[in-house]
Structure formats: C-alpha cells, structure tokens
Amino acid sequence: MQVRRKQIVKRGMKWGLLLLLIMTVVLPVWAQESDSSEVTDDEVNAVAKEVYCPVCESTPLDVCETQACADWRELIREKLAQGQTKEEIFTYFADQYGDRVLATPPAEGLNLILWIWPVVAVVVGGFLFSRYMRNLRATAAAAPAVDVALPEDVPPPAKDDYVSRIEQELKKK
Amino acid sequence: MIADLGYFSILMAFVTAVYAAITSWYGHKKENWRWVESARNATLIVFPLVLLASALLITSIVRNDFSIDYVWRVSSIEMPTYLKFTALWGGQAGSLLFWNLLLSIFTAAAMARKWDEQHDLMPYAIMVGSFTQIFFLALTAFVENPFTRIDSVIIPVDGNGLNPLLRHPGMIIHPPMLYLGFTGFTIPYTFAMAALISGKVDDTWIRTTRRWTLVAWLFLSLGLILGGRWAYDVLGWGGYWGWDPVENASLIPWLAGTAFLHSVMIQEKRDMFKMWNMFLIILTYSLVIYGTFIVRSGVISSVHSFAQSAVGPLFFGFIAIMFIFSAYWLNRRRADLASKNSLQSFLSREAAFLYNNFLILAILAVVFLFTNYPIISELFTGERGFVGPPVYEQALGPLFAVLVLLMGVAPLTMWFRGSVQRLGKAMLWPAVLATVAIVVMIVLGIHLWAALVGFWVVIFSMVLTILEFVKGTHARMKRGENVFVAFSNLMARNRRRYGGYWIHIGVLIMAVGVIGVELFQEETQQQLQVGDTISLGRYEMQFLGVEQRPGADDLIITEATVDVYENGRFVKTLTPRREIYTRTGQPMTIPNARSTILEDFYVLLAEQPTSPDSAIIRVFLNPLINWVWAGGFVFIFGTLIAAWPDAVEDKITAVQARRRPAVVTTGD
C-alpha cells in the first residue's frame, strides 16, 4: 500500500516536473508572442525612427532594408512588449552598438560640442561681425569728408532709393 | 584599343593643362603675350580632349566591353541604352572624369571670351584655372583611371549593372546639376585669384564673373532641389532631406556661395567689403572641393558613398594647398583691399547684407561641424559619432527663422542710411497682417508654437516682398505705363533685384512646405489582408492585393494596389511598389502618392510581401509638401530672371569699364 502510494507520489512529481518544464519553456514564449502582437507597427516605428542602423550608417531603422534591421525592429517590438520605455531601448542600443546609433546622441562628453557649437558660432560670429561693423563706422568718423562727398545722388530719406531711380530712368526717356 | 585611346587623351589633357599653367606664367614673366595666347589655347584644347575620353568611355559601355573594370562595375548587357550613357557618372572613376568634362567646359568657355578689358588678369586666370584642372586630371589619370583593365584573366560575360538607386530619372540628372554647380564656382574663384595675384583688385573680376556665379548657383540650387525630390520619390522614407553627409556636402558650398552672391552687391554698389568678398569666394571654392571630397572619398560613410577609395588624402592635400595659396595672396593684398568707404548706419542696406552673411555663415559653421562630427569624434574618442536630424533641426531652426525674417526686412533698407522710424512704419501693417493670420490659425486649431512662429515670420516676409513688387510697379504706373507693362518692365530692367525677390518668394513658399512636413507629418503602418483598410486624417485606404511582374533587365517589381478615399469618397487608386534588381539584390521602395496642394497621402509597401493577399503598408500624411516643390520652381524661375543675359546692361558695363575701369555702379 505504502509502496503504491509512493509510486503515485513519484508519478505525480514526474508529471508535475514535466508540467513545470513545459510551463517554463512554453509559457514565456506564448506570453511574449501575445504581448508582442499587441505592440503596433506605429509604436515600433516611433522608436525605430530615432535609432540608426549600426551597419549601414545614416539610415534609420524604420526604413532600413537589411535583414539585420528587420531583426532589430523585432527586438524593439519585444522590448516594448516587455514594457520598456523609449529611453530604455535607446540606452540598450547605445550600450550595444555605441552612441552613433542614436539620432540624438546623449549630451555628455565630446557630444556636448553639438549643443555648445551653435551657440559659440552665433556669439563669437556676432561679436566679430559687430566689431567689424563698428570699425567700418569708425572709419566714417575719422574721415567725414567721404561721408559728405558720397551721397550726392542719394534721395531724401523718406523715399525708396530704388523708386527714385526708376523715376530718373523714366525722366530720361 | 578604345580604352588605350581614351587613357591617352586623358594623359594629353593633363599634359596640356600643365603646359597651360607653365606657359601662362612664363609668358607673363617675359612679358611675351604670345606665350600667354598659347596658354589660353591650351586651356581650350583640354575640353575636346576630355570630351573625347568621355565619349570613348561611353562607347565602351555601350559596346559592353567588360574588359574595362569600370564598365563591368556600372553596366550590364541588358541595361537600356540611355542608362549606358548616364553610367558615365554612375561610379567613382567615371564621376571624376565627368567632373573633369564639366570643369573643362566651364574653363574653356571662360577663357574663350574677349579679354580686352581684363588683359592683366588673363595670365593668372589661366594659371589658377589650370591648377584646378591639373589636380582633377591627375586624379583621373593616375589614381582613378576609368579605363583600367579588369583584374582578371577571364573577361566577364556580363557586368554588374548600374546601382538601382541611380536608375531613377531624378538621380540621372541630379549629379550633373550638382557637378555643374560645383565646377561653375571655380570660375569666379579663378578670376578672384587672378585679381589678387595681379594686384588689380578693383571689381573687374566681380563684373566679369557675376553671371558665372549666378549660373553656378542656379545649377547647385537645382541639384539640391532635384536631390530632395529624388529622395522623396525613391528612398521611401516620407521625407526629402535627411541631413545626410552627402546632402550637406552640396549644401555647405551652396551656403557660402549664397553669402557671396549677396555681399558682392555691396562691393558693386559701394566699393566696400572687397577683402570680405575675396574671402567668401575662396571659402566657396574650398568648400566646393571639400564637397567633392566628401562625396568621392566616402570619408563620412553614408548612403551615397558608392565607393571608398584612396582619393581622400589627395583631396585633403589639394584643399590645404589651395587654401594656403589663397590666404597668402589675400594677406599680401590686404592694403589694396581695405575699404575706403564706410558704414553710415547699422540699418542701411550694406548692414543688412552683413547680417545676412553673418546668419548664413553661422548656419554654415553648424552644418560643417555636424557633418564632420563622425571624423572629429573618432579623432578624439576613437569612437565614430553620429549627428541625426533632430540635432540639426534644433540648432538650425531658430537661425533659419531669423534669416527668413531678415529676407523680408532687408529690401526695406536703403543704401547709406536707415532709420528706425522708417523701417518701423514700413513693417507695421505687414506685421499686423501676419498676426491676424496667426490668430486665425489658432482659432482653426493650430496650437504648435514653433509652427505659429514659423508661419508668422513667413507671412510677414512674404507680404513685405510682395509689397516691393507693388511699390515698383506703382512707381512705373504713375508715369503712364499700364499694370502689365509696368510689372514686366520692372523685372526686365532690374533683373537681378527682382529676380532676387522672386527667389525670396520661392524660399518663403518652400518654408511653408517645410514647416508643414516637419511639424505636422502623420504616419501609420499596418499589416493588411485584402479588403482591410487604414485611415489617416480625412483619408481612408483599402488594400486590394499584391502582384509581381518582371521589369526591364534583371528587375522584379512587386506592386500593391490600394484605393484611396477622401472623406468617404473614392479619389484615386495608388500602386506603391518594391523593385529588386536580382543581380545586386538591392531593394528599392517606390512610394505612390495622392498629391494635392494641401497634402500628400503617401503610400509605401514597407516590407517585401510574402503572399498576394497580404502586405505591410506604411502611410504618410505629408501636409503642404507640394509647397516645397512649387517654391522650388519659383526659386529657379527667379534665378533664371536674375541670370538671364541682359544686352543693355552688358553694353553699359562694357562702356563704363572702358571709360573708368575702377568704379562701376550699374545695377544693384
């Protein structure tokens, strides 16, 4: 009787283990599949748009035609299904393939140049131009003779200089 | 045999160019004009020699001579004949030969003209022009010889065929336009350098080359616009500009050239900024060579770089040499270039041109750094960086907005002087009008502040620009001309000024489109079975199935059919397709769109369908996209008006040049 009971328990355990095994193998796959299919192409593209193909540079993942990119799009889909955010996925890709896969590289290290440079270009450029223009004005102050001599054919300020040129031209006719 | 003859004529062209450079220098030194004449004739001969080489290369392609490596790479037996002609610029070596051909046409045309007025410039112009030719001919002759025999004992039976992306009509004419623009800009540079070296730094060089500059700029602009259209029609990503390094490589010299086109007007009118103009044309030339370098060397890898090769360091060396050479002469003639006139007001026309230059150069500086960032970051960190469109847009958006604002305001300024009151008075009503328009937009439901700011600026500038036409026409009408006569005379007599305003209007129309697409684009993608629908905006689209058929050569076309409904009413059947050239296996995604003035309903076959009943369809709604193309047409129309030969003006210029060679103030 006891033996039989043991056998039953044993058999039960066997089945239980098998079931467990099946569950560990099949269930996650099934769960994932079901979740992935809930992620729309639009959600995938929204992320893929800002990730660039690591193999063929200058091509975002959403339009890239290679098989590798198709796999990466699938990877994005899975990660979205797992509930990862856009930023987490970006971080994943950057860790795997370097910052160059991101449309907007992280604002750190040398990349900071990308934000500082436009400001520098405007500020330094603006400074140089204004200095240049002020110098040109200083010449005016230093040599007023030129100033007076030049505008002999200049129309009164209220009038467009071009309009008066047309008038002159027409008078000649 | 043909290949040998072709290579021989490239070598001869190279030797002739070297001869021209040496002889022009020698003739000038010995003051023997006959040597200079000989040098000039030599530059004229380079053209037929390069033309012969190009014709022979095309002949080899048409005759399917796959013993020539280049022919094997870019052609195949079944390829249509017209593509065998355009295969001349379908690869690295051929492109360089084609570059040489266009350069030799421009150089010969510039040298063949009458030289009475520019006697002193001639020897130097020949010399500097020949430098550029020598470099590019040397590249073709010694590094990228298109006639190189194939590196194999057995001659292949068939070739690879042209890159599928290059078989589209847009891509067939896009490179020639860009190259014409690039090579065209070498002419004003050549004359500028001739002026610098000879010491005749009056504005003779500007008068001589101003139409060349406009023509070069016209082609470069055309190249950029066509490139955008091609990307939109062929690359299948719903956009027209991706800040790709190769696109930037042609935008950067265009920007420098644009700054130059504006600032030369101050020199012609007021004899100022001579040094600055010299600097700008040197910059433009350097950037043209740099642009060619980026495209041809594949140094910043991109979708466009069809070839990686050893030409990189040579280009880099040449740019460095020419830049140092130019800088040396610029510095040496510093005193002669100093401005004798002065700036009277920060609100004058002169100042406005300077603000324009400042903004354009700031944009150039940003695009230049971003484009080179992959190389820079690799140099400093060992890792190749990448700058995507969002970074460009965020940095350049404000700069472009201010530039558009200036575009409207600048024509209000006057030469010499300006006053706040006057400007304010002129701007008041256009500003009110633009504000009213914006309020209407807000009421209609547009709440994106970037779009509202953008539209305000565009409308404001548009009103101001149109007012320029109204004012000019009105002034003529007061003298008894009727509206139409007044309007056409206005443009006929002041081509550059009103051509320029047309260009501005073109840019403003394009800006409307850019704001529309950049800020209001919508998209969706779905897997569809036959009968399924997608809706986006007011549109609904029904998928009807996929079919496959063979095309020309080794092409296989997979085409989907969809019906598009607008507000429930059927409007059009679209057939987006995918093309695969089986030999190379490269797929192309060709969209099909329902186009209206308001928007494009742009449909793509996103992935290769596996059954006739199912497909993944991607749909874009691109608001106002057609304004970009329409603006492009107006832009080119304006440039044509400005560049059109003006017999009367030319005569005046010539007469005045003879009378007093130093100062000329015709036109503006």
Higher pLDDT, B269 or A142: B269
Contacts of B366 in chain A (CB under 8 A): 117-118, 121
Q: Give the largest CA-CA distance in chain A.
A: 131
How far apart are alpha carbons B668 and B135 in whole angstroms? Answer: 36
How distant is the Cα of A26 from the closest Cα of chain B, in angstroms? 26
Residue range B107-130: average pLDDT?
86
pLDDT at B661 over 70: no
Nearest to A99 among B339, B385, B616 (CB): B385
How distant is the Cα of B561 from the closest Cα of chain A, in angstroms? 20
φ, ψ dihedrals at B533, nearest 5° = -125, 155
Higher pLDDT, B586 or B292: B292
Share of chain B above pLDDT 90, in %: 56
Confidence of residue A27 (pLDDT cuts 50, 70, 90): very low
Per-residue model confidence (pLDDT) at position B308: 53
Nearest alpha-carbon partner for A151 in A137, A161, A139, A142 = A161
Nearest to A118 among B245, B340, B366 (CB): B366
- In tens, the pLDDT along B284-333 reads 999 999 998 887 766 665 444 444 566 777 888 899 999 999 999 999 99
Nearest alpha-carbon partner for B61 in B80, B85, B82 = B85
pLDDT at B647 over 70: no
Subunit contact B373:A113, Cβ cutoff 8 A: yes
Q: What count of CB pairs under 8 Å joins A to B?
A: 168
Residue range B551-556: average pLDDT?
80
Per-residue model confidence (pLDDT) at position B492: 85
Asked if A169 is an interface residue toward chain B (Cβ–Cβ < 8 A), one would say yes
Lowest mean per-residue pLDDT among B99-113, B259-273, B627-641:
B259-273
Burial class, B484, CB count within 10 angstroms (exposed 0-12 / middle 13-18 / buried 19+):
exposed
Taking all residues of chain B, what is their mean pLDDT, rounded to a whole number? 88
Q: Does the reported pTM lie above 0.80?
A: yes
Asked if A38 is an interface residue toward chain B (Cβ–Cβ < 8 A), one would say no
Task: Please provide the DSSP assignment of B116-155 as one string.
Answer: GGGTTTHHHHHHHHHHHHHHHHHIIIIIS-TTPBPSSSSP
Residue range B423-430: average pLDDT?
88
Confidence of residue B667 (pLDDT cuts 50, 70, 90): very low
Identify the CATH class of A2-103: mainly alpha
Asked if B448 is an interface residue toward chain A (Cβ–Cβ < 8 A), one would say no
CA dihedral B262, B268, B273, B277 (to 10 degrees): 60
- Are the C-beta atoms of residues B562 and B543 closer than 8 Å to each other? yes
Residue range B540-547: average pLDDT?
94
How distant is the Cα of B32 from the closest Cα of chain A, in angstroms? 41
Residue range B482-504: average pLDDT?
89
pLDDT at B358 over 70: yes
Q: Taking a contact as any Cβ pair under 8 Å apart, which residues of chain A between 106 and 145 contact chain B?
A: 109-111, 113-115, 117-118, 121-122, 125-126, 129, 132-133, 136-140, 143
CA dihedral A7, A8, A10, A11 (to 10 degrees): 110
Give the residue on A whose Cα is nearest the Cα of B383.
A98
pLDDT at A170 over 70: no
Contacts of B387 in chain A (CB under 8 A): 105, 114
Per-residue model confidence (pLDDT) at position B304: 46
How distant is the Cα of A87 from the closest Cα of chain B, in angstroms? 15
- In tens, the pLDDT along A97-148 reads 888 889 898 888 889 999 999 999 999 999 998 888 888 777 655 544 444 3
Per-residue model confidence (pLDDT) at position B668: 39
- In tens, the pLDDT along B172-192 reads 888 899 999 999 999 999 999
Confidence of residue B273 (pLDDT cuts 50, 70, 90): confident
Which helix (H) or strand (E) covers residue A128, if one does? Answer: helix A113-142
Q: In angstroms, what is the C-alpha Rg of chain A?
A: 36
Lowest mean per-residue pLDDT among A26-35, A43-52, B100-109, B152-161:
A26-35
Subunit contact A100:B373, Cβ cutoff 8 A: no
- In tens, the pLDDT along B510-536 reads 999 999 999 999 999 999 999 999 999
How distant is the Cα of B523 from the closest Cα of chain A, in angstroms? 8
pLDDT at B370 over 90: yes
- Are the C-beta atoms of residues A105 and A111 closer than 8 Å to each other? yes
The interface predicted TM-score of the complex, written ipTM, equals 0.84
How far, CA to CA in Å, does B34 sit from each of B29, B41, B44, B626? 12, 10, 15, 56
Per-residue model confidence (pLDDT) at position B365: 96
Per-residue model confidence (pLDDT) at position A34: 45
- Are the C-beta atoms of residues B209 and B148 closer than 8 Å to each other? no
Confidence of residue B495 (pLDDT cuts 50, 70, 90): confident
Per-residue model confidence (pLDDT) at position B425: 85
Q: Give the largest CA-CA distance in chain B.
A: 84
Q: Taking a contact as any Cβ pair under 8 Å apart, which residues of chain B between 26 and 65 contact chain A?
A: none
Nearest to B362 among A56, A109, A125 (CB): A125
Nearest to A98 among B383, B415, B497 (CB): B383
Asked if B313 is an interface residue toward chain A (Cβ–Cβ < 8 A), one would say no
How far, CA to CA in Å, does A62 sit from each of A37, A53, A102, B236, B580? 18, 9, 13, 10, 19
Asked if A51 is an interface residue toward chain B (Cβ–Cβ < 8 A), one would say no
Q: Where are the domains of chain A?
A: 2-103, 114-172
Subunit contact B242:A113, Cβ cutoff 8 A: no
φ, ψ dihedrals at A40, nearest 5° = -80, 160
pLDDT at A14 over 70: no
Per-residue model confidence (pLDDT) at position B61: 94
For residue A52, the cross-strand partners are A60
Residue range B584-599: average pLDDT?
88
Share of chain B above pLDDT 70, in %: 94
pLDDT at B608 over 50: yes
Asked if B656 is an interface residue toward chain A (Cβ–Cβ < 8 A), one would say no
